[in-house]
């Protein structure tokens, strides 16, 4: 999906009315394309004789300022198309259309509020442009709209994006909806773009605006008021983009917990637990539990069986996967508040007092998880085995985050932490891992060393770290994320 959806195409001039039109967009005769207007092409500019008196730098600055208006006009044209052609379509709109109120709201979210915000912004931008042939500033207007909450509707829209995607996927399973949608998308006003492309317009605009502001900042003189307002607007826009991302992630976590809560089946005798909207998933996955082969008689040889452990922000749950009809369910047979979970590493399983019978010879990375007060207000202990020492540390940290430094572990202060640059990309395989890209700079908060910690290359001025039996806890935003991939290469930043 190209950025042309909102930045130069997406609507028909006859179908959509832009407030206070001033010739910003011109449609090429005989085609469906929309061509962007340039400041230098405006009749009042061309006839004024200003172009002959201006330097190339001054012309570029005016074009950069003018592009904020033209792109907003194109964007608004496309937003109007979403609202008037799709959202308000009789064949879709409840109660007579195919969609009910919930489906309609989830599919189109608050697109009308986003459209209204764009309309108000464009009115102010055009008013500034009409005040004088030479445009003094546009960034200050954006700042005013930021301060007045004019872009708050974007935060709500971004938060609901996952519901849009899921709703559209579900609706496309309905042949009647597909037929209606194809008819609407076949309109010449859509320029061969589908509904999903139009629904992505606000996201594209958020990523487009910083580029426009950066172009203005680069053309403005360093000591000019315009340069300052451009910088301030960039900061405000980046802050809003961060809020959009945070809200989208928050809603994604809520949806994930809600979906998982519906998959939990509690065994008879196991008290049900409540999951609030502030609950999120810290870690989940399979791990081995060590127990006697004959559970009822507590006798027989020791075996390691796979179970599912889900670590929420406030609870730790032990369950098993099962199919109920065509649905995947998790049968819960115990859980405990996370602050009442005690974790103990086992260095020598064959001589541990809590493991009188030892452990199977295949279990090499054992630790004990104790529920101090489980769902029945009783104590319960589980001997668990991970696939590797690194995974064991990650599970232990997820279940009960360490609060003090232990042997073999180095904790760095924020002002004293080493920094490394990633030399090889790595895609996160779990929620508590961090995807790394080449040349990413990373702060190391904690280092735990195993037998092999790094490979030293004496012929180079830099030390190459290869993560073998070593893992780093990285500080990224407010999260502690891990990487344990055996081929990730990190080069320390020296000097």
Give the model confidence (pLDDT) of 476-488 as tens digits. Answer: 322 233 333 434 5
* 409-492 CATH pick, 2.60.40, 2.30.110, 3.40.50, 2.30.30: 2.30.30
The pLDDT tens digits for 82-105 are: 999 999 999 999 989 999 999 999
Average pLDDT value for residue range 302-319:
92
For the stretch 422-461, pLDDT in tens is 888 888 777 667 778 777 777 776 665 543 222 222 222 2
Helices (H) and strands (E) counted in the chain, each on its own, are 12, 17
Give the residue ranges of DSSP H helices in 82-194: 101-108, 111-131, 139-147, 152-159, 161-171, 175-185
Contact 188, 146 (CB under 8 A): no
In Å, how far from its chain's centre is CA 80?
27
Question: What's the farthest any 2 CA atoms get from each other in the chain?
Answer: 99
* Residue range 32-54: mean pLDDT, rounded: 83
Q: What mean pLDDT do residues 289-315 have?
A: 81
In this structure, the number of other CB atoms found within 10 A of the CB of residue 410 comes to 13
Q: Report residue 344 as tokens.
A: 């103990």
Q: Which option is the CATH number for 3-261: 1.20.900.10, 1.10.10.10, 3.20.20.70, 1.20.1330.10?
A: 1.20.900.10
**pLDDT score of 362 more than 70:** yes
Residue of 364 and 36 predicted with greater confidence: 364
Write down the CATH number for the domain with range 287-399: 2.30.29.30
Nearest 10 degrees: Cα torsion 90, 96, 97, 98: -170
Q: Whole-prediction pTM value?
A: 0.65
- What is each CA distance from 81 to 97, 198, 201, 274, in whole angstroms? 18, 8, 11, 43
pLDDT band at 204 (very low <50, low <70, confident <90, very high): very high
CB count within 10 Å of CB 66 equals: 23
pLDDT for residue 270: 94
Tell me what pLDDT residue 251 has: 87
Tell whether the model's pLDDT for residue 162 goes beyond 50. Answer: yes
Answer whether residue 249 shows pLDDT above 80: yes
Place of tokens 């109007």: 80
Residue 415 tokens, joined: 């002002």
Buried b (16+ CB within 10 A) or exposed e, 420-453: bbbbeebeeeebbbbebeeebebebbbbbeeeee
Domain with CATH 2.30.29.30 in the chain: 287-399
Determine the pLDDT at residue 218.
Answer: 94
Q: Please give the pLDDT value at position 462.
A: 27
pLDDT of residue 446: 67
Q: Are strands 327-337 and 264-266 parallel, antiparallel or unpaired?
A: parallel
Query: How confident is the prediction for the chain on average, in pLDDT?
Result: 80
Domain with CATH 2.30.30 in the chain: 409-492
């Amino acid at each position: 999906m190209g950025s042309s959806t909102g930045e130069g195409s997406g609507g028909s001039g006859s179908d959509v009315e832009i407030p206070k039109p001033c010739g910003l967009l011109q449609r090429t005769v005989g085609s469906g394309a929309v061509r962007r207007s340039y400041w230098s092409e405006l009749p009042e500019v061309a006839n004024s004789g200003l172009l002959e008196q201006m330097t190339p730098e001054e012309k570029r600055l005016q074009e950069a300022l003018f592009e904020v208006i033209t792109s907003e006009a194109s964007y608004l044209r496309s937003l109007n198309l979403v609202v008037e052609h799709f959202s308000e379509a009789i064949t879709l709109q409840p109660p007579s259309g195919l969609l009910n109120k919930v489906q309609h709201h989830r599919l189109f979210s608050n697109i009308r509020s986003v459209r209204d915000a764009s309309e108000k912004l464009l009115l102010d931008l055009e008013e500034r442009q009409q005040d004088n042939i030479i445009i003094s500033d546009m960034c200050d207007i954006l700042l005013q709209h930021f301060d007045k909450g004019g872009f708050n509707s974007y935060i709500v829209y971004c938060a609901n994006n996952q519901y849009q995607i899921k709703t559209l996927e579900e609706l496309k399973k309905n042949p009647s909806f597909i037929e209606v949608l194809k008819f609407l998308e076949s309109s010449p006003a859509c320029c061969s773009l589908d509904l999903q492309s139009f629904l992505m317009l606000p996201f594209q605009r958020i990523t487009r605006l910083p580029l426009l502001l950066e172009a203005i900042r680069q053309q403005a003189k360093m000591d000019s008021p315009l340069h300052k307002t451009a910088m301030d607007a960039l900061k405000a826009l980046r802050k809003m983009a961060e809020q959009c991302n945070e809200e989208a992630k928050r809603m994604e976590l809520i949806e994930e917990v809600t979906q998982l809560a519906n998959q939990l089946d509690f065994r008879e005798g196991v008290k049900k637990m409540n999951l609030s909207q502030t609950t999120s998933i810290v870690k989940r996955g399979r791990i081995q539990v060590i127990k006697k082969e004959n559970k009822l008689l507590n006798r027989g040889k020791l075996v390691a069986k796979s179970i599912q452990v889900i670590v929420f922000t406030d609870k730790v749950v032990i369950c098993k996967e099962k199919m109920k009809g065509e649905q995947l369910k998790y049968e819960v047979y115990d859980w405990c508040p996370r602050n009442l979970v005690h974790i103990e590493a086992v260095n020598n399983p064959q001589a541990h007092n809590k493991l009188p019978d030892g452990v199977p010879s295949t279990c090499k990375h054992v630790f004990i998880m104790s529920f101090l007060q489980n769902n029945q207000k009783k104590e319960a202990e589980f001997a668990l085995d991970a696939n590797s020492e690194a995974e064991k540390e990650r599970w232990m940290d997820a279940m009960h985050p360490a609060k003090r430094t232990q042997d073999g572990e180095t904790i760095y202060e924020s002002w004293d932490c080493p920094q490394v640059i990633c030399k090889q990309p790595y895609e996160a395989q779990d929620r508590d891992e961090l995807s790394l890209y080449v040349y990413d700079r990373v702060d190391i908060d904690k280092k735990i060393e195993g037998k092999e910690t790094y490979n030293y290359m004496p012929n180079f001025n830099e030390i190459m770290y290869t993560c073998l039996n070593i893992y780093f806890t990285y500080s990224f935003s407010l999260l502690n994320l891990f990487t344990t991939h055996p081929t990730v290469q990190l080069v320390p930043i020296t000097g």
